[in-house]
């Protein structure tokens, strides 16, 4: 009996020692994952709230993206696209002389405009010459806001005749007796006649409605000769059509 009592006392003492050694030690974490996750979320929200209260940006908060810069504007050359068969004239109106005509789909560089009459001053393709086309039968596009607004002078419609149409030539040698045949389109309807020039020298004065002329002259071998044709009347002369070629 005495021995049994001593054994119980010994076990009791050991239990007390073990319990004493665990005083101040945290309890093991809970095995419940939901509770753990909830604890972490609560701690994060609390930290963020404290930072905002202090006027600070919470740690690890991504900065907003900067707004992308607007693309630089690119100006485009003003272009007139012909929608219907359109006449192009020496001025902005049907009373002006006919220069040429354009088919649908033709694109022309715009140089100026007459806003009041809805006409566009355009450059002829592959040429430095100009004419006026009606905006009623065409569409303007590109940057034309800065183009000059041109107002025709009074009496311009009854002015000089229209410029001759396309000028063609044929020549036959030898150069010492060069024979050149010229042909052009009669675009004017108020001309007195046509002047023909060789190297800027007047060589023929033809009647109204003329469309051809033949010239015979001596040209050095390899030299270039230039022919020009213009319509004229009492007011003045049209622009010239010119061609050049070398005699070989």
| Rounded Cα distance, 167 and 40, in Å | 92
Q: What is the pTM of this model?
A: 0.41
Q: Is the Cβ–Cβ distance between 180 and 214 less than 8 Å?
A: yes
Q: Measuring CA to CA, how many Å separate 95 from each of 82, 84, 185?
A: 20, 20, 20
Please name the fold of domain 168-246. Immunoglobulin-like (2.60.40)
Please name the fold of domain 79-158. SH3 type barrels. (2.30.30)
- Least confident range from 42-56, 110-124, 135-149: namely 42-56
Pick the more confident residue, 9 or 92: 92
Q: Is the Cβ–Cβ distance between 125 and 115 less than 8 Å?
A: no
Pick the more confident residue, 45 or 163: 163
CA quadruple 145, 146, 150, 151: dihedral sign: positive
pLDDT at residue number 35: 54
Q: Is the Cβ–Cβ distance between 141 and 108 less than 8 Å?
A: no
pLDDT at residue number 59: 47
Q: What is the DSSP string of 162-187?
A: PPP---EEEEES-GGGEEEEEE----
- Confidence class of residue 145 from pLDDT cuts 50, 70 and 90? confident
Query: With 80 as the cut, is the pLDDT of residue 226 above it?
Result: yes
Domain residue ranges of the chain, discontinuous segments joined by +? 79-158, 168-246
Q: Is the Cβ–Cβ distance between 171 and 247 less than 8 Å?
A: yes
pLDDT at residue number 6: 52
| Rounded Cα distance, 63 and 40, in Å | 24
pLDDT at residue number 151: 67
pLDDT at residue number 17: 45
- Confidence class of residue 196 from pLDDT cuts 50, 70 and 90? very high
């Amino acid at each position: 009996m005495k021995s049994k009592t001593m054994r119980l006392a010994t076990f009791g003492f050991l239990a007390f020692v073990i319990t004493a050694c665990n005083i101040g030690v945290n309890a093991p974490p809970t095995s419940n994952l939901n509770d753990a996750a909830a604890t972490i979320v609560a701690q994060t929200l609390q930290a963020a709230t404290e930072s905002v209260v202090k006027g600070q940006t919470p740690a690890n908060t991504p900065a907003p993206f900067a707004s992308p810069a607007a693309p630089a504007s690119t100006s485009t050359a003003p272009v007139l696209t012909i929608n219907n068969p359109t006449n192009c004239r020496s001025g902005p109106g049907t009373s002006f002389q006919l220069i040429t005509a354009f088919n649908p789909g033709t694109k022309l560089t715009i140089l100026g405009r007459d806003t009041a009459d809805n006409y566009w001053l355009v450059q002829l393709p592959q040429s430095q010459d100009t004419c006026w086309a009606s905006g009623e039968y065409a569409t303007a596009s590109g940057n034309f806001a800065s183009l000059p607004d041109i107002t025709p002078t009074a009496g311009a419609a009854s002015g000089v005749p229209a410029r001759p149409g396309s000028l063609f030539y044929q020549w036959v040698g030898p150069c010492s007796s060069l024979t050149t045949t010229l042909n052009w389109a009669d675009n004017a309807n108020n001309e007195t006649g046509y002047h023909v020039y060789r190297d800027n020298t007047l060589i023929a004065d033809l009647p109204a409605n003329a469309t051809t002329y033949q010239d015979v002259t001596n040209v050095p071998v390899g030299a270039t000769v230039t022919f020009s044709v213009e319509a004229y009347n009492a007011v003045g002369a049209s622009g010239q059509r010119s061609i050049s070629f070398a005699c070989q």
